[in-house]
């Protein structure tokens, strides 16, 4: 293929294989699962497409050069040779991020400062002025991955992390990350084929991500800014064209129900849902999780109960055992998924999981467990299922 470029999409541990599948479906070639990332190939459109449509990537990096070095001087010279002026001018701002492993640099900060000096010195040599550094919102962000004596220099095409979809007007104090919520929905196998219920919905992340998936709303639909929009090479017409490829549905056959015990959090959910213009699809009500029942069955229940990390609960084990009782008593015939970082509390749900996955909600290691909520005992459920499958 002409004009093949090499990219790396970053994500959380545990999501890589799903991300590789998603990128391949978007047209990426040669997707390879790496640690907390997926490498892939494609043309320039692929860079725009991955940023706009990927629900599972945190950022998309574009490889500019690979080099080897044996000392600081060589590292500096290699970065100096990178033609940053193709992407930015001396009046734009710059940030350099570095990750290092087993190399001559003692700290990533040292590598990033050396690289930043190299880019700035190149500008000073060429036009007498140098860009300034802006760590918060730079016009151009470079990423250097340094392993032993090898370095890869990337441009960060996303800017702000892609989990910032643009619909969170207000923040819940203990939110699930949008990329993790999207991955939970994919892992559950839900295909918008039954109602979705979040009985502890907080700021509404799971509900909004689910409705976006069901209606085919691109992950970046509500977001205005991407790193590449500030590059000199930005092709605005092509970018518009790629966004126009979205085939958003105007209706779905399923409903989305959210509830929470705390009215303050429901207000946050309501604001976010309104920002996403999904209020016609998602119903909210104030309710204790123990009183929630499905409007129709089967339904899929997905919840992110308090972990006791950021929201206090008196007796977490007792609370999780009540979650198990409510699922068993109120949702027979449905499937349920629970994510939590409290492994002990999760055991108190007291149901046998039919699916287990390890996910990370930011820095918190979590278990994501799925339950088939059958009526009666597990033995007869397995027997009936076997008979039905034969």
Ligand X SMILES: C[S@@+](CC[C@H](N)C(=O)[O-])C[C@H]1O[C@@H](n2cnc3c(N)ncnc32)[C@H](O)[C@@H]1O
Binding-site ranges for ligand X (CB under 6 A): 172, 174-176, 199-200, 202-203, 205-206, 260-262, 265, 288-289, 304-306, 311
326-331: long-range contacts, CB 8 A cutoff, minimum separation 24: 326/199, 326/289, 326/290, 326/292, 327/301, 327/351, 327/371, 327/373, 328/373, 330/292, 330/293, 330/294, 331/293, 331/294, 331/297, 331/299, 331/301, 331/373
Question: Residue 9 gets which letter from DSSP?
Answer: E
Cβ-based nearer residue to ligand X, 115 or 316: 316
Q: How far is the CB of 181 from ligand X (least distance, A)?
A: 7
Q: How far is the CB of 289 from ligand X (least distance, A)?
A: 3
Cβ-based nearer residue to ligand X, 294 or 306: 306
Q: How far is the CB of 337 from ligand X (least distance, A)?
A: 12
Cβ-based nearer residue to ligand X, 195 or 260: 260
Q: How far is the CB of 161 from ligand X (least distance, A)?
A: 16
Query: Buried (b) or exposed (e) across 267-288, using 16+ Cβ within 10 A?
Result: ebbbbbbebbebeebbebeebe
Cβ-based nearer residue to ligand X, 188 or 304: 304
Q: Is 53 exposed, middle or buried (0-12, 13-18, 19+ CB in 10 A)?
A: buried
Say how far apart CA 330 and CA 332 lie, in whole Å: 6
Q: How far is the CB of 287 from ligand X (least distance, A)?
A: 7
Distances 294 to 147, 259, 260, 300 between C-alpha atoms, Å: 52, 12, 15, 9
Q: How far is the CB of 307 from ligand X (least distance, A)?
A: 7
Cβ-based nearer residue to ligand X, 104 or 261: 261
Cα angle, residue 221 at apex, residues 220 and 225 outer, rounded to 5°: 55
Q: Are 326 and 290 in contact (CB under 8 A)?
A: yes
Cβ-based nearer residue to ligand X, 30 or 171: 171
The DSSP code sequence of 247-284 is ---S--S--EEEEES-HHHHHHHHHHHHHTT-TTTEEE
Q: How far is the CB of 205 from ligand X (least distance, A)?
A: 3
Cβ-based nearer residue to ligand X, 131 or 258: 258
Q: How far is the CB of 311 from ligand X (least distance, A)?
A: 6
Say how far apart CA 369 and CA 35 lie, in whole Å: 23
Q: How far is the CB of 305 from ligand X (least distance, A)?
A: 6
Which residue lies nearest ligand X, judged by its C-beta? Answer: 202
Cβ-based nearer residue to ligand X, 14 or 203: 203
Query: Buried (b) or exposed (e) across 67-78, using 16+ Cβ within 10 A?
Result: bebeeeeebbeb
Cβ-based nearer residue to ligand X, 153 or 273: 273
Q: Is 225 exposed, middle or buried (0-12, 13-18, 19+ CB in 10 A)?
A: middle
């Amino acid at each position: 293929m002409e004009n093949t470029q090499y990219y790396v999409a970053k994500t959380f541990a545990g999501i890589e294989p799903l991300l590789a599948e998603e990128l391949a479906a978007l047209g990426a070639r040669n997707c390879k699962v790496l640690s907390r990332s997926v490498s892939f190939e494609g043309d320039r459109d692929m860079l725009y497409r991955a940023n706009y449509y990927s629900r599972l990537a945190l950022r998309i990096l574009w490889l500019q050069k690979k080099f080897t070095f044996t000392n600081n001087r060589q590292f500096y010279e290699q970065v100096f040779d990178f033609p940053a002026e193709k992407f930015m001018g001396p009046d734009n701002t710059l940030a350099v991020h570095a990750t290092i492993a087993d190399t001559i640099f003692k700290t990533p900060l040292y590598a990033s400062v050396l690289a930043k000096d190299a880019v700035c010195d190149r500008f000073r040599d060429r036009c007498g002025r140098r860009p300034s550094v802006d760590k918060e919102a730079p016009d151009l962000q470079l990423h250097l991955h340094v392993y032993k004596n090898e370095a890869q220099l990337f441009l960060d095409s996303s800017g702000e992390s892609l989990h910032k979809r643009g619909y969170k007007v207000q923040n819940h104090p203990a939110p699930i990350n949008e990329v993790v919520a999207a991955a939970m929905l994919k892992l559950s196998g839900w295909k918008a084929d039954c109602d979705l219920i979040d009985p502890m919905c907080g700021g509404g992340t799971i509900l909004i991500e689910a409705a976006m998936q069901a209606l085919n709303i691109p992950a970046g639909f509500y977001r205005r800014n991407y790193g590449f929009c500030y590059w000199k090479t930005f092709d605005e017409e092509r970018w518009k064209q790629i966004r126009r490829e979205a085939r958003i549905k105007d209706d779905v056959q399923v409903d989305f129900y959210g509830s929470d015990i705390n009215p303050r959090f429901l207000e946050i959910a309501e604001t976010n849902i309104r920002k996403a213009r999904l209020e016609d699809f998602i119903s909210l009500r104030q309710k204790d999780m123990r009183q929630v029942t499905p409007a129709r069955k089967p339904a899929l229940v997905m919840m992110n109960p308090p972990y006791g990390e950021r929201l206090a609960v008196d007796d977490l084990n007792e609370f999780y055992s009540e979650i198990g009782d409510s699922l068993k008593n109120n949702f027979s015939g449905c499937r349920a998924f629970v994510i939590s970082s409290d492994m002990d509390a999760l055991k108190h749900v007291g149901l046998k999981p039919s699916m287990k996955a390890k996910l990370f909600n930011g820095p918190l290691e979590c278990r994501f467990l799925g339950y088939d909520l059958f009526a009666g005992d597990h033995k007869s459920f397995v027997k009936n299922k076997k008979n039905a499958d034969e």
